[in-house]
Amino acid sequence: MKKSNVLFHLLVGIALLFPVFASAQDVPSEVSSIISMKLEDGEDKLQNLGYSICGSSFLAKKQDWYNPKENICITLKFDKKTEVITEVDINPATSECQRKLEESNKVWEKYHDGQAPASSPKLDEERKKLADKGFKASFWADQLSPGRSIEYWINESEKKAMYIVWEVPSNKWAKTDKADYESGINPAPKNN
């Protein structure tokens, strides 16, 4: 093959690839539409579009979001005072965003809806006391501290929360105590 033909094919190949690289740097229009939205509304829209938060810097007022299906990472910036999204950019550190999301998912694997499968006479007695007071099992987390699991119960009408801690694997009850209501709401309800 002549040098001119090789050069021609190389240039055609580059020309065909260039639009892909150029468009990969553009923020998708459905994502850029979150600019000027309240942060909470923008976060909901990103989740509906298949994005998951993979990093957050409250002091810098920005968040990184990754879409595994599209293999796109974006960074959104927001005004701390008004909590309005002010900017959305492509984050070129896609592999870093992917790694952070995978690490985050490993943490959420410890969280489960409802009551834990653990059982012991004292543990069941504590659960009954809470149920009698109008509390319902919200979620449990497997060994948040080494050798201990926790179960949160909430009373929605009174906006109160309680937790039960037990030792693993013996299921020996360790403690039942009050918790802030917000902490009793399952932080990862889709991860059963």
pTM for this entry? 0.53
52 pLDDT above the threshold of 70: yes
Q: Where are the domains of the chain?
A: 25-108, 111-184
The confidence band for 25, taking pLDDT boundaries of 50, 70 and 90, is: low
19 pLDDT above the threshold of 70: no
Percent of the chain predicted with pLDDT > 90: 62
pLDDT at residue 29, rounded to an integer: 93
What amino acid occupies position 135? F
Residue 87 to residues 28, 47, 77, 90, 113, Cα–Cα distance (Å)? 13, 17, 5, 10, 35
CATH topology of domain 111-184: Nuclear Transport Factor 2; Chain: A, (3.10.450)
The SS3 of residue 83 is coil
7 pLDDT above the threshold of 60: no
Give pLDDT tens digits for 84-99.
999 999 999 999 999 9
Give pLDDT tens digits for 108-152.
778 889 999 999 999 999 999 999 999 999 999 988 788 999 999
∠ at Cα 25 (99, 52), nearest 5°?
35
18 pLDDT above the threshold of 50: no
Residue that has been written with the tokens 């499968």 in this structure: 117
48 pLDDT above the threshold of 60: yes
Tell which phi-psi region holds residue 179, choosing left (phi > 0), alpha (psi between -120 and 50) or beta. Answer: beta
